[in-house]
Chains A and B, each alone.
Chain A
Amino acid sequence: VIAPPPVWGLLSRRQSAVALAVYTLAVVAGALALAAVLDAAGHALRAPWAGVGAVALVAAIFAAEALPVQLPQSRWRVPREWGRLGPVGYAAAFGSALGLGVLTALPSPGFYVILYYGLTGASLVSIWIVAIAFAVGRALPMLAIAAATRRSGEYPAGPVELVARTLTAASPLEVLLLAAVAGAVLAPGG
Chain B
Amino acid sequence: MSTVPARSAGVGASVVAGAAGLVAGTAAAGRGPALAALLVAIGAVSGLRAERTD
Spell out A's residues near B (CB within 8 Å).
Answer: 1-2, 56, 60, 63-66, 98, 101, 107-111, 113-114, 117, 126, 129-142, 163-164, 167-168, 170-185, 187-190
Question: Which B residues are CB-close (under 8 A) to A126?
Answer: 36, 39
Q: Are B10 and A185 in contact (CB under 8 A)?
A: no
For the complex formed, measure the closest distance between the CB of A64 and the CB atoms of chain B, giving whole angstroms.
4
Q: Are A164 and B29 in contact (CB under 8 A)?
A: no
Q: Are A181 and B35 in contact (CB under 8 A)?
A: yes
What band does the interface of chain B fall in when counting residues whose beta carbon is under 8 Å from A?
Answer: 35 or more
List 17 A-B residue pairs with CB atoms under 8 Å apart, sorted by A's residue number: A1-B53, A64-B11, A111-B50, A131-B43, A136-B47, A137-B49, A138-B47, A139-B47, A141-B48, A164-B51, A168-B54, A174-B49, A176-B20, A179-B20, A183-B28, A185-B29, A190-B35
Chain A binding surface SS class: helix
Spell out B's residues near A (CB within 8 Å).
Answer: 7, 10-11, 13-31, 34-36, 38-54
Known: A108-B50, A187-B25. Is A179-B41 also a contact (CB below 8 A)? no
Question: Which B residues are CB-close (under 8 A) to A137?
Answer: 43-50
Q: Are B23 and A181 in contact (CB under 8 A)?
A: no
Question: Which B residues are CB-close (under 8 A) to A56?
Answer: 42
Question: Which B residues are CB-close (under 8 A) to A176?
Answer: 17-18, 20-21, 24
A1 CA to B50 CA in the complex, in Å?
10
A175 CA to B46 CA in the complex, in Å?
11
Question: Which A residues are CB-close (under 8 A) to B30?
Answer: 189-190
| Centre residue among A108, A110, A170, A184 by max chain B CB count within 10 A | A184
